[in-house]
Amino acid sequence: MRPILMKGHERPLTYLKYNKDGDLLFSCAKDHTPTVWFADNGERLGTYRGHNGAVWCCDVSRDSMTLITGSADQTAKLWNVETGAQLFTFNFDSPARSVDFAVGDKLAVITTDPFMELNSAIHVKRIARDPADQGGESVLILKGPQGRINRAVWGPLNRTIISAGEDAIVRIWDTETGKLLKESDKETGHKKTITSLAKAADGSHFLTGSLDKSAKLWDARTLELIKTYVTERPVNAVTMSPLLDHVVLGGGQDASAVTTTDHRAGKFEAKFFDKILQEEIGGVKGHFGPINALAFNPDGKRYGFLLLQIHVS
């Protein structure tokens, strides 16, 4: 399949998200402007203007009507997907790093970075069906660990929240009580910052990528470590095929360490692994900077995760 180069962002990409139907691809970048594209041909449909800082993450509702974004400008915003209009702004005292809609789209989890005297935190917000009824108060606030939480997502049946970040620990929290239920074992878990986290299509397990040059597959209920995938580069992004037993890892050197445009030096390929056997089965080259974001099309039949442009961050 011939890759489609999608040009539009002026700064490095930070996150990619397909809608449920797989016909729209949303991209976030350090240029402040989330963008939506036709997934089939790479045509840019529009942008969402209003953030004043890098946009780190996004999610789209199941009906593809509402987009949520988290930004370094200390806000998370709700948008009308079709018109690009801002529907609501959640204000925080530190950058909003990660956002994720719950199943049913009635709740959203938003993480905020440590800043000044503030610890990292996990905020649960109620999402109103009518934007006119939307409020900014938190249903639940969880005080996070030392260091940044890079990703937090909903667990099975919205009963838990799964978080991971700079301290290399995966945590599972109870969404009713806010109690910490489980932590990953330091011996078998990651040894360096967890950069990314991706759930399986059925939500039963999830994948984490780390600067320790590995990715790990975990049970979403028990936090049992299922598989480990070892590579030769720091892992910045991970994704799983919803159709085949394939795991894809992307990464490369930190920008400060990149002194050449030779893709072989920075190891900027996307690597495919057999999900069960844990063996590398292929790779895709072509990028001239670290791969910061990956996403599979929900139908699993198209290599949609390659429809992106990555720059050195």
State pLDDT tens for residues 52-100.
999 999 999 999 999 999 999 999 999 999 999 999 999 999 999 999 9
Cα dihedral 116, 120, 126, 127, rounded to 10, equals 80
The answer to the question of residue 126 being in a domain is: yes
E strands, 166-213, are 170-174, 180-183, 194-199, 205-210
The answer to the question of residue 4 being in a domain is: no
Gap between the Cα atoms of 210 and 232, Å rounded: 12
pLDDT at 11: 86
Tell me which residue range forms the domain holding 189: 13-304
pLDDT in tens, 33-48: 999 999 988 899 999 9
User: Could you give phi then psi for residue 132, rounded to 5 degrees?
Assistant: -65, -20
Mean pLDDT value of segment 187-214:
96
pLDDT at 304: 44
Cα 97 off chain centre by: 10
The answer to the question of residue 310 being in a domain is: no
Label residue 163 by pLDDT band (50, 70, 90).
very high
The answer to the question of residue 110 being in a domain is: yes
Gap between the Cα atoms of 24 and 55, Å rounded: 18
Label residue 284 by pLDDT band (50, 70, 90).
confident
- CATH number of the domain where residue 108 is located: 2.130.10.10
The answer to the question of residue 312 being in a domain is: no
Average pLDDT of the chain, as a whole number: 90
**Which residues are 237's β-sheet partners?**
250
Gap between the Cα atoms of 57 and 70, Å rounded: 5
Mean pLDDT value of segment 250-261:
62
Which strands make up the sheet holding 75-80, listed edge to edge? 55-60, 66-71, 75-80, 86-91
Mean pLDDT value of segment 190-213:
96
- If one counts every other C-beta atom within 10 angstroms of the C-beta of residue 52, the result is 10
Coil, strand or helix at 169: coil
pLDDT in tens, 120-161: 999 999 999 999 999 999 999 999 888 999 999 999 999 999
The answer to the question of residue 17 being in a domain is: yes
Label residue 6 by pLDDT band (50, 70, 90).
confident
What percent of the chain has a predicted confidence (pLDDT) above 90? 77
What domain count does the chain have?
Answer: 1
The answer to the question of residue 135 being in a domain is: yes
**What pTM, to 2 d.p., does this model score?**
0.91
The answer to the question of residue 207 being in a domain is: yes
pLDDT at 253: 66
